[in-house]
Amino acid sequence: MSEIINFNISEIIPTREEILREQGVSQGIEVKEKINKLILKALDIFKSKAQPVGILSEISIKGFEEVFIGEGKNAKDTPLENIFPQADYLALFALTISKKVSETISKFFKENDFAIGSLLDSIATLASYKGTKVIEKYFQKSIQKKHLTKQETTVLSYSPGYCGWHISGQKKLFQFLRPEKIGLSLNASFLMTPLKSVSGIIVYGKKEIHIFQDNYPFCLECKTHSCRARMKKLINQ
């Protein structure tokens, strides 16, 4: 059964430093006062427009096997297919920052207010990442409470469109999770609207299960290798 999770904006709002980094400004570099004022303005707009909400639904390993297969378009070998069978618990999730934020970003660009539009876009992107962390923690706590599990277990999420899990996997994920309840929809290309939304699977289990070598064929096409930072963070936890 799915559960709707309402966020407090303060849980997901990024810091000035995080916003600047997302805009390509290295840590420690001072920007003009005009930019600082624009950041504050963008944050105020975000606070007034964002209505973050999430949906979570526990799923068995067997149930997720079917979701993960999706439309049969995944890469031949993926890290997630080795990870999720070792999980203690799994949950499908989706979250959205709100349609209003995406509309406001588009409006700013149409009106040539590019800087504020771009800052708001960065804030919404960062907020959606933070929202994912909030849902991960929520799931972790609820499992620990329900099953009195050991504290050393960890949670990490994976999304269709990354690491060999084909984007078309969204179709099955949507069929199971029904995130339409929180205002999400899927287009013919399997992309979610509103755009500032995240979906995926949360894997609860020992942290070792998430550690893999990023030498899959699709890793050659990946420029970010963000999995490395995720794994490093887990190891250091």
Cβ distance to another protein smaller for residue 155 or 227: 227
Cβ distance to another protein smaller for residue 20 or 155: 20
Residue 97 Cβ, how far from another protein at the closest point, in Å? 14
Handedness of CA 80, 84, 89, 92 (dihedral sign): positive
Instruction: Tell me how far apart the alpha carbons of residues 152 and 10 are, in angstroms, rounded to a whole number.
Output: 27
User: Which parts of this chain interact with another protein (CB under 8 A)?
Assistant: 20, 23-26, 29, 31-32, 34-35, 38, 105, 109, 112-115, 117-119, 121, 161-162, 166-167, 187, 189-191, 193, 195, 218, 221-224
Q: How many CB atoms neighbour CB 196 within 10 A?
A: 25
- For residue 97, give the nearest of 184, 196, 182, 200 by alpha carbon: 196
Cβ distance to another protein smaller for residue 161 or 183: 161
Residue 191 Cβ, how far from another protein at the closest point, in Å? 5
Q: How many CB atoms neighbour CB 198 within 10 A?
A: 19
Residue 183 Cβ, how far from another protein at the closest point, in Å? 16
Residue 48 Cβ, how far from another protein at the closest point, in Å? 21
- For residue 152, give the nearest of 237, 58, 60 by alpha carbon: 237
Cβ distance to another protein smaller for residue 101 or 143: 101
- For residue 167, give the nearest of 57, 71, 58, 81 by alpha carbon: 71
Structural contact between residues 194 and 184, judged by C-beta atoms closer than 8 angstroms: yes
Residue 105 Cβ, how far from another protein at the closest point, in Å? 8
Cβ distance to another protein smaller for residue 31 or 229: 31
